[in-house]
């Protein structure tokens, strides 16, 4: 285990400044207690213990923290001076955040010193069907933008969206039930229609009657379904490399249909094994957003309920019927919402070739292609959010 013994007698002034302005109303602490490690590169570490709405600083303990933030002494000074809570430093690679992004970024938000109504904050809302749904939100615009993550992801994948669009919209990103910090009900369908209903329930709990929706990957499939279920509650749809029903023959469909996702409740999954597999599959998984994404996935997947939810959702993506009266591609033509599709030219999961199929089914949709892979809002944030702003402001102005 890495030696995190504090070499300096006292923490850097930047860390002390952060703790002095801690605001418990901004951070959502599961279980009411968290250990957040604040490391100073080459100069030791301290743990911020958050409990009962208070925070205190102690020497780093041998146990693994719930979240870890690491930069050098000058970096901590810069973070303390950045009212945006250090996210700029994280995007630039000067600040490392590992383990729980929910707590790591929540800590930065809680110590940013911002007191405005549109500040970044983390909390949860209750739904009657799926229990607690964890959300982050920022901004106080006249129209809400609700963001939905992909399979195995969390609301953290929309942190850049909150940072770049909160000046114009009330940006809300949620953890779908079964993922992140949200409850994970056993036996839930975990399919697109069910997730879409959960999005509407969460909107109701947030007091949002009508909103724009944005979804990445599986989240894109969910917001398409929401648009098909209730057009009246949606402004525009932004589909970021959305998961779409397979058009090729699904040779494994009979086997996948027979497998039960509830087996994930019983599966023994050692962390080193799961982590090794995931990190080999994801390029650059030791750095930046990729490393944070791996951590977010593992935090859910390594719990029995999280595994069962992941398997159920993955199974439903694979088995999504493409044709027939109730098939995805048949129904897509009935989508009435103004829609923007953002495609990654290097996306190996949802190839840009799907664009022509969407154009045939939905001639009115707009399309943008970017030099990126499967997660445009993280890989090309400036271009993605510029396209989103232009599209959504046009939708808002036209209604």
CATH H-level superfamily of 13-110: SCP2 sterol-binding domain (3.30.1050.10)
Query: Residue 125 phi/psi, 5° resolution?
Result: -125, 160
Residues sharing a CB contact under 8 Å with residue 341, sequence separation 6 or more, in sequence order: 239, 242, 355, 358, 365, 366, 367, 368
Q: What's the confidence (pLDDT) of residue 272?
A: 59
Residue of 135, 140, 138 lying closest to 120 (CA atoms): 138
In which order are the strands placed within the sheet that holds 54-59? 54-59, 45-51, 33-40, 67-71, 96-99
**CATH topology (fold) of 121-397:** Rossmann fold (3.40.50)
Residues forming beta bridges with residue 37, ordered by sequence position: 47, 68
Per domain, the residue ranges of the chain are: 13-110, 121-397
Residues sharing a CB contact under 8 Å with residue 323, sequence separation 6 or more, in sequence order: 329, 330
Extract the tokens encoding 318: 């694979």
Q: What's the confidence (pLDDT) of residue 6?
A: 47
Q: What's the confidence (pLDDT) of residue 350?
A: 95
Query: What is the Cα–Cα distance from 157 to 154, expressed in whole angstroms?
Result: 6
Residues forming beta bridges with residue 338, ordered by sequence position: 236
Query: What is the Cα–Cα distance from 367 to 19, expressed in whole angstroms?
Result: 45
143 and 60 Cβ atoms separated by less than 8 Å: no
Q: What's the confidence (pLDDT) of residue 299?
A: 87
Residues sharing a CB contact under 8 Å with residue 85, sequence separation 6 or more, in sequence order: 79, 105, 108, 109, 111, 112, 114, 120
Q: What's the confidence (pLDDT) of residue 301?
A: 84
Q: Is the pTM here over 0.85, yes or no?
A: yes
How confident is the model over 105-145, as pLDDT tens digits? 999 999 988 888 899 999 999 999 999 999 999 999 899 99
Q: Give the mean pLDDT of the chain.
A: 88
Sign of CA dihedral 135, 140, 146, 147: negative
How many C-beta atoms surround the C-beta of residue 126 within 10 A?
A: 12
Residues of the chain with pLDDT under 50: 1-6
Q: What's the confidence (pLDDT) of residue 16?
A: 92
Q: Kind of pairing, strands 170-174 and 211-216?
A: unpaired
Q: What's the confidence (pLDDT) of residue 87?
A: 76
């Amino acid at each position: 285990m890495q030696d995190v013994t504090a070499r300096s007698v006292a923490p850097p002034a930047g860390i002390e400044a952060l703790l002095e302005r801690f605001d418990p109303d901004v951070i959502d602490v599961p279980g009411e207690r968290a250990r957040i490690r604040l490391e100073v590169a080459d100069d030791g570490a301290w743990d911020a213990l958050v409990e009962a709405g208070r925070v205190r600083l102690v020497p780093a303990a041998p146990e693994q923290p719930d979240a870890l933030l690491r930069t050098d002494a000058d970096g901590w000074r810069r973070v303390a001076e950045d009212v945006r809570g250090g996210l700029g430093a994280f995007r630039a690679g000067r600040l490392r955040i590992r383990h729980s992004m929910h707590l790591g970024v929540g800590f930065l938000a809680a110590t940013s010193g911002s007191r405005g109504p549109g500040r970044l904050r983390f909390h949860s809302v209750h739904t009657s069907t799926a229990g607690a749904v964890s959300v982050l939100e920022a901004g106080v615009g006249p129209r809400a933008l609700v963001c939905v993550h992909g399979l195995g992801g969390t609301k953290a994948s929309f942190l850049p969206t909150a940072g770049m669009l909160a000046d114009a919209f009330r940006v809300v990103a949620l953890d779908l039930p079964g993922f992140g910090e949200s409850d994970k009900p056993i036996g839930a369908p975990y399919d697109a229609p069910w997730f879409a209903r959960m999005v509407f329930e969460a909107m109701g709990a947030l007091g949002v009657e009508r909103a724009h929706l944005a979804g990445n990957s599986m989240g894109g499939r969910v917001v398409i379904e929401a648009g098909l279920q209730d057009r009246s509650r949606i402004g525009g749809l932004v589909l970021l490399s959305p998961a779409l029903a397979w058009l090729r023959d699904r040779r494994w469909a009979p086997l996948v249909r027979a497998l039960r996702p509830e087996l994930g409740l019983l599966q023994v999954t050692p962390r080193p094994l799961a982590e090794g597999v995931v990190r080999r599959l994801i390029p650059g998984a030791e750095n930046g957003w990729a490393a944070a994404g791996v951590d977010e996935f593992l935090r859910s997947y390594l719990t029995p309920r999280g595994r069962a939810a992941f398997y159920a959702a993955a199974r439903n993506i694979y088995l999504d019927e493409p044709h027939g009266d109730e098939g995805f591609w048949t129904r897509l033509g009935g989508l009435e919402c103004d829609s923007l599709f953002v495609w990654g030219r290097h996306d190996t999961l949802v190839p840009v070739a799907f664009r022509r199929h969407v154009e045939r089914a939905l001639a009115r949709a707009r399309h943008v292609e970017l030099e990126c892979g499967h997660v445009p809002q993280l890989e090309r944030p400036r271009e993605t959010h510029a396209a989103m702003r232009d599209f959504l402001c046009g939708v808002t102005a036209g209604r």
